[in-house]
Amino acid sequence: MKENEVNCEHACRNTCAMLNEALRKETALVKYYEGLLDECNFPEVRSFVTDFVEEKRKGILRIIQKLNEIHARSQSMDGIFSSFNNIDG
């Protein structure tokens, strides 16, 4: 797969491949920057990278929240659909 190529299923049923890939890459970037912090002893750069890592973590949290919303919406829709397909009740 190319760096910018994501196979979107266009169904977003219970999850999102695109957001999962973004989450994976953002998490890898945070680990990379944290590794830089382990090696850096220049206060100005450490402060900059620390702030950058915090911004990335906030982005990761937003992605996780959106994935949770998609999952919850899918579960709600499944419940609604199953209530229409319930022949016993």
Distance CA 55, CA 5 (A): 24
Question: Average pLDDT of 61-87?
Answer: 79
Confidence of residue 48 (pLDDT cuts 50, 70, 90): very high
| DSSP E strand boundaries for 1-89 | none
Cα separation, 45 vs 9, in Å, equals 40
The answer to the question of residue 86 being in a domain is no
Please give the pLDDT value at position 73. 82
**Does some domain include residue 18?**
no
- Based on the structure, what is the number of domains in the chain? 1
Domain assignment present for 38: yes
- What residue numbers bound the domain in which 30 lies? 23-75
Residue 81 clears pLDDT 80, i.e. is over it: no
| Predicted model pTM | 0.74
* Model pLDDT, residue 15: 74
Instruction: Judge whether 81 lies within some domain.
Output: no
Q: Quick one: average pLDDT of 26-52?
A: 95
Residue 8 lies in a domain: no
Q: Is residue 29 part of a domain?
A: yes
Question: pLDDT averaged over the chain?
Answer: 84
